[in-house]
Amino acid sequence: MSTWHIGAITVTRVEEQFGNPNYPPEQYFTGFEREVLERHRHWLAPNHYAPETDRLVTSVHSWLIRTPRHTILLDCCGGNHKHRPWLPRFHQQDRPFLSRLREAGAAPEDIDMVLCTHLHEDHSGWNTHLKDGRWVPTFPNAKYLFSKKENDYWDPAQHPGDEHPVRNVVYRDSVLPVIESGQATLLEGAHAIDDSMLIEPASGHTPGHVLLKMSQGGERAVFSGDIMHHVLQVYAPHWNSRFCELPQEARATRKRVLEHCAEQGALLFPAHFGAPFVAAISVSASGFEARFVEAG
């Protein structure tokens, strides 16, 4: 179990899955340039790229954030037993995520806040679990924070006659039960959790995507969700993933986050980078650069 420290705050990575080679890069990125990958090929394998199959390697994990006041779970991976035939990696999973959460020091009952950066299936799945044949909130004592703009985009009741089958399935099994339980808080604009943590809008990957900025004891961090999917996007921030819904906004948001991390010395905590998962960002004559930061 890997834990980083931002001042007095601890951040522990809770893994759902890692290491399964994903898409070929040409299929994953729009605007992909092979020469960028080749320039960094010597260090990408095996944690970020599988050269034998020419496929990217990505992680799926949550961040467990513990402060003197809060126990927060940021992003909720794919979840178990979810019907996701359009994404086989997440279809009918049966993984020991909750056991790993306990190993990290928190039972589901201990989580007092869940923050979803957005509502894609690999960030909202563990919001709920099956109990007696029904989807119910996994974290019974938690307040769930969703962007209102994101929720409205996903909620089929907001779009009568405009069916989006994939979004509707995900919303009904992983978001609606939280809304109906009264545990959801829908955020508009920026929202301070406390003096050390600020949620900000970061649209592009989805219309209502948000990020979390952290500042404590003179140290800083940004939890970026899917603003970036792979470390190569640090070196090529103009590449979008195939899943980015607002391409121009996605590029602008990515550049802004990288600039913030470089200027403020904020560590980048992404949702899908391979090991060792967390990066410090700097600027050189050729653009942005990443230096991975080990836990401890």
At residue 163, the pLDDT reads 73
Measured over all CA atoms, what is the biggest interatomic distance in the chain, rounded to whole angstroms?
58
At residue 19, the pLDDT reads 80
- CB neighbour list of residue 119: distance below 8 Å, 6 or more residues apart: 146, 150, 151, 153, 154, 170, 171, 174, 175, 206, 208
Tens of each residue's pLDDT in the chain, 296 residues: 899 999 999 999 999 999 877 789 999 999 999 999 999 999 999 999 999 999 999 999 999 999 999 999 999 999 999 999 999 999 999 999 999 999 999 999 999 999 999 999 999 999 999 999 999 999 999 999 999 999 999 999 998 877 788 889 999 999 999 999 999 999 999 999 999 999 999 999 999 999 999 999 999 999 999 999 999 999 999 999 999 999 999 999 999 999 999 999 999 999 999 999 999 999 999 899 999 999 98
β-strand pairing of 219-225 with 266-270: parallel
160 vs 119: CA distance, rounded Å: 19
At residue 192, the pLDDT reads 97
Please count the other Cβ atoms lying within 10 Å of the Cβ belonging to residue 167: 18
Helix/strand/coil for 230: coil
- CB neighbour list of residue 126: distance below 8 Å, 6 or more residues apart: 16, 62, 76, 77, 78, 79, 80, 97, 98, 138
Q: Is the dihedral of CA 162, 165, 171, 177 positive or negative?
A: positive
Q: In what order do the strands lie in the sheet with 279-284?
A: 191-194, 197-201, 210-216, 219-225, 266-270, 279-284, 287-292
229 vs 100: CA distance, rounded Å: 23
Domains defined for the chain, CATH in brackets: 3-292 (3.60.15.10)
| Closest C-alpha to 260, from 234, 222, 227 | 222
Phi, psi of 18, deg, nearest 5: -155, 145
Q: Running DSSP on this structure, what letter comes out for residue 264?
A: H
* Structure-block tokens of residue 221: 């961090």
Q: Are the C-beta atoms of 166 and 86 separated by less than 8 Å?
A: yes
223 vs 272: CA distance, rounded Å: 11
Distances (CA, A) of 156 to 2, 50, 116, 244: 38, 39, 19, 20
Q: Are the C-beta atoms of 233 and 242 separated by less than 8 Å?
A: no
